[in-house]
Chain A
Amino acid sequence: MDFTLNDEQRMFAETAQTLFGDTCTPDHWRKQMESGEARDDARWNAIVETGLTLLLLPEEAGGLGLTELDFALIAEKAGYVALPEPLAESAGVAAPLLAALAPDSEVLADPSATIAIQHPANPYVLDADLAGAIILHKDGEAYLATPDQVTLTREESIDPFRRLFKVEWDVANATPLGKADWDLALDRGALFCAAQGLGLAQRAVDLAVAYAQERQQFGKPIGSYQAVKHHLASAQVAIEFARPVVLAAAADIGKRDVQARARISHAKLVALEAAEKAAKASIQVHGAMGYSWEVDVHLFLKRALALKQYWGSPAFHRGRIANRMFTQPTGPDQTFARETENA
């Protein structure tokens, strides 16, 4: 039993944090929102060069063959900057799914290409127009198509950086890939939503802390008032108790049993609750400024609200936890239990 990260994991996460921190600042968001550009090419190239898109791909497919835990740490950092590019969806979910079905697929050979995925859990597909390929779903089977082989209808998201599309397509225009592991895709999607939620939450708190240290009312910084402190402390408590759940879920996703799935669901629920709670607290602490487009907090609220319903609604995930509770033993010796041990 060792519930700590190793040096390599910490180093990788720090590298991503520095890269995102340098390239995904409020100035970048503003420019991108004004220009309407879907992605920042310089940033995306840096992400690709650092190898972040290859992290979860198996070595046979030219990847680094690392684990979901390693990727979750990166996704957390992506959440902290509200990263506009679909790194988690493409490199975290779609690419490994495609590699499992068609490791020789051309699009996998280009680490800068994003891959979009249409999953039964998500009615709208993220960044489908710019993807090198789209994985499509029909009756449990997977198909692959390029954006020009399908009909895309843009569905505007409240999150200015989430580019959603309704995808209509014809089996005749797509390449069949066979039966896909959609459940694993959902687990990865939910897990990386959770990891991003941690980052979103921490950023919302950090923005509010910075503001509360500066902003003066009644002759002193508002952060010296207990009522303000308590909003942010409560949000931080939510983060502290979501984080170990996310890490444990990431470490055990490969077990693929009732307990592992319940823990992923648990992680998704609490991390996005923490994100929403932190964003709401942050808006309150910012006062009227927090309600303005000018202050960045709304970006974190909107991403949290979007991710909350993405890759399975809260009701879906609560149901998976109830299933674990009522079909498997619970209690103090069952924290790290496995389905197989109890068979």
Chain B
Amino acid sequence: MDLTYTPEQQAFRAEVRAWLEAHVPAQPLEHYDATREGFEAHRQWEATLKQGDWGMVTWPKEYGGRGVDLIQWLIFEEEYYRAGAPGRVNQNGIFLLGPTLMEFGTHEQKARFLPPMASGEEIWAQAWSEPQAGSDLAGVRATAVRDGDEYVLNGHKIWSSRAVFADWAFGLFRAPGTERHHGMSLIFFPLNAPGVTVNAIKKINGHVGFAEIFLEDVRVPAFNRLGDEGQGWHICMATAGFERGLMLRSPARYQVAAARLAELWEANRDSADPALEADVVRAFMNAEAYALNIYQTASRLMAGAKIGPEASTNKIFWSEMDIHLTETALGILGPQAELTQEAPDAASYDWMDDYIFSLAGPIYAGSNEIQRNIIAERMLGLPRK
């Protein structure tokens, strides 16, 4: 065990830091879920990242990446969050679909979809959930019927993040007459294809972060199917592993938040409830523990291990950590916590928005109840029924 960075890793950090210092916009961008303008500003930022070859650093060079390893990826993320760089509008693409394509896609599919994903030219939404199938994804009813070289898609998707402004979506569809985990395929469709209707759903913060999607006889080439026909469930579970585990939630995000919380505490130490210091310390500990856990996992994966059900433990940990951290901030702010950013006395940072967002953590990417079932059954070996 060697918990020090190599000279190469330190040089990589310095390179990332210098580039970000020169390129991160001075003014924060409007949120990508708030308006079309905010979304397009983020697309522009993705293009800027691509110019420096920082769009998707872990991907091979031929697909628009830099081919760095997981430790370097963690370093990149640390510098990214440290610099306060904009949120990744294409996270569904680069962190979820990207790794899945890398594992299950053909060379032609990778060459077609990955480079524009890395550059932000094509921004992706996920279209998994349906009104009757949320955490129970095996219950999806949307269908894909093969017709020559094409699929004809029909159905109703919901809770599709980014779909209001995005270009493409990846969805789970089944062959008519199949049940549960069988007969499902993962298929990509353009959100502007004939027969696709996207309706925005406002989130509790007023942003249009969700959409419901209606598909009526939408025709896509069979080329848009990832993996074999009927392999959708298997692929989907791999994607869910990426989502719950490493890629979606790099530790840096929480370490920045914990540092910001510590500053808030130090600024309000004299007026805030002294008991809150223990929570501030706890937030720091949680962020550290999460970082150490991810570094350990990254080292194991680099040594040849595969990610397993521990992805579910990550999901529970980061989602609960996030709520605890932001709740602590609201406690320190006291009566100021309820003020919106437009109020004259508003705090300089919108903790309430972060808190509200944190409440979604235990729900999306598979509810925490489902994650606990997965841990109990696949890690601990408790009976399914």
A contact set with B: CB distance below 8 Å: 1-6, 69, 205, 209, 212-213, 220-221, 223-224, 226, 228-230, 232-234, 236-237, 240-245, 247-248, 251-252, 263, 266, 269-270, 318, 321-322, 325-326, 330-336
**Which B residues from 341 to 385 make CB contacts under 8 A with A?**
369, 371-373, 375-377, 379-385
Whole-angstrom distance between the Cβ of A177 and the nearest chain B Cβ: 32
Which chain B residues border A2 with CB–CB below 8 Å?
Answer: 1-2, 299
Contact between chains at A205 and B288 (CB < 8 Å): no
Interchain nearest-CB distance for A131 vs B (Å): 32
User: Which residue in chain A gives the minimum CB-CB distance to B13?
Assistant: A333
Inter-chain CB contacts under 8 Å: number: 166
Select which of B255, B259, B317 is within 8 A of A241 by beta carbon. B317
Residue of B whose beta carbon sits closest to that of A209: B380
Among B258, B296, B298: residue with most chain A CB under 10 A: B296
B271 in the interface (beta carbon within 8 A): no
Which of A5, A209, A245 contacts B288, CB < 8 Å? A245
Among A209, A220, A251, A336, point to the contact of B381 (Cβ < 8 A).
A209
Is the CB–CB distance between A3 and B262 below 8 Å? Answer: no
Which residues of A are found within 8 Å of B298, using beta-carbon distances? 3
- CB-based contact B317/A221 at 8 Å: no
Given A1-B2, A209-B381, A245-B289, do A233 and B372 touch, yes or no (CB 8 Å)? yes
Q: Quick check: B293 and A241 within 8 Å, CB to CB? A: yes
When the two chains form their complex, are residues B281 and A205 in contact, meaning their CB atoms are under 8 A apart? no
> Within residues 315 to 350 of chain B, which ones have a CB less than 8 A from any CB in chain A?
316-317
User: Which of B73-81, B121-129, B151-159 lies at the interface with chain A?
Assistant: B73-81
Complex Cα–Cα for A251 and B385 (A): 42
Q: Which of chain B's residues have a CB closer than 8 A to the CB of A334? A: 255
Binding site secondary structure of chain A: helix
B180 to chain A, nearest CB (A): 19
Flag if B382 contacts A236 (CB, 8 Å). Answer: no
Question: How far is the CB of A292 from the nearest CB of chain B, in Å?
Answer: 23
User: Measuring CB to CB, which residues of chain B are less than 8 angstroms from any residue of chain A?
Assistant: 1-6, 9, 13, 71, 77-79, 81-82, 251-252, 255-256, 258-259, 262, 266, 277-278, 280-281, 284-286, 288-293, 295-296, 298-300, 303, 310, 313, 316-317, 369, 371-373, 375-377, 379-385
Cα A240 to Cα B299 with chains together (Å): 15
Report the minimum CB–CB distance from A275 to chain B (whole Å).
15
Please give the distance in Å from B26's CB to the nearest CB on chain A.
20
Is the Cβ of B369 less than 8 Å from the Cβ of A230?
yes
Q: Is the CB of A240 within 8 A of B313?
A: yes
Point out the residues of chain B lying under 8 angstroms from A212, CB to CB: 382
**29 A–B contacts, CB within 8 A, in A order:** A1-B9, A1-B295, A1-B299, A3-B1, A3-B296, A3-B300, A4-B300, A223-B383, A224-B382, A226-B372, A228-B382, A232-B376, A232-B380, A233-B372, A237-B313, A240-B313, A240-B317, A244-B289, A244-B293, A245-B289, A245-B292, A247-B296, A252-B3, A325-B280, A330-B255, A331-B259, A332-B82, A333-B82, A334-B255
Closest to B252 in A: A332
Residue on B nearest A325 in the bound complex, by CB: B284
Q: Are A223 and B252 in contact (CB under 8 A)?
A: no
A236 CA to B314 CA in the complex, in Å? Answer: 11
Residues of chain B lying within 8 A (CB to CB) of residue A242: 289
B295 touches A233 (CB 8 A): no
Q: How far is the CB of A244 from chain B (nearest CB, A)?
A: 4
B79 to A333, Cβ gap below 8 A?
yes
Q: A5-B1, A266-B289 are in contact. Are A331 and B256 (CB under 8 A)?
A: yes
B78 touches A332 (CB 8 A): yes
Cβ–Cβ contact B278 & A318, under 8 A:
yes
| A residues less than 8 Å from B266 (CB atoms) | 326
Q: Given A4-B1, A224-B384, A232-B382, 10 other A-B contacts at CB below 8 A?
A: A4-B303, A69-B1, A209-B382, A223-B383, A237-B375, A241-B286, A244-B293, A322-B277, A322-B281, A332-B81
Contact B385 A229 (CB under 8 A): no
Beta-carbon contact of A244 and B2 below 8 Å: no
The answer to whether B291 touches A335 (Cβ under 8 A) is yes
Task: Decide yes or no: A236 and B289 within 8 Å by CB, A4-B1, A248-B3 being known contacts.
Answer: no
In the bound assembly, the distance between CA atoms of A215 and B280 in angstroms comes to 42
Chain A residues within an 8 Å CB radius of B377: 229
Give every chain B residue within 8 A of A228 (Cβ-Cβ).
382
Provided the pairs A205-B380, A209-B381, A326-B266 are in contact, do residues A336 and B285 lie with their beta carbons within 8 angstroms?
no
Output the residue of B13, B262, B290, B372 with the most chain A CB within 10 A. Answer: B372
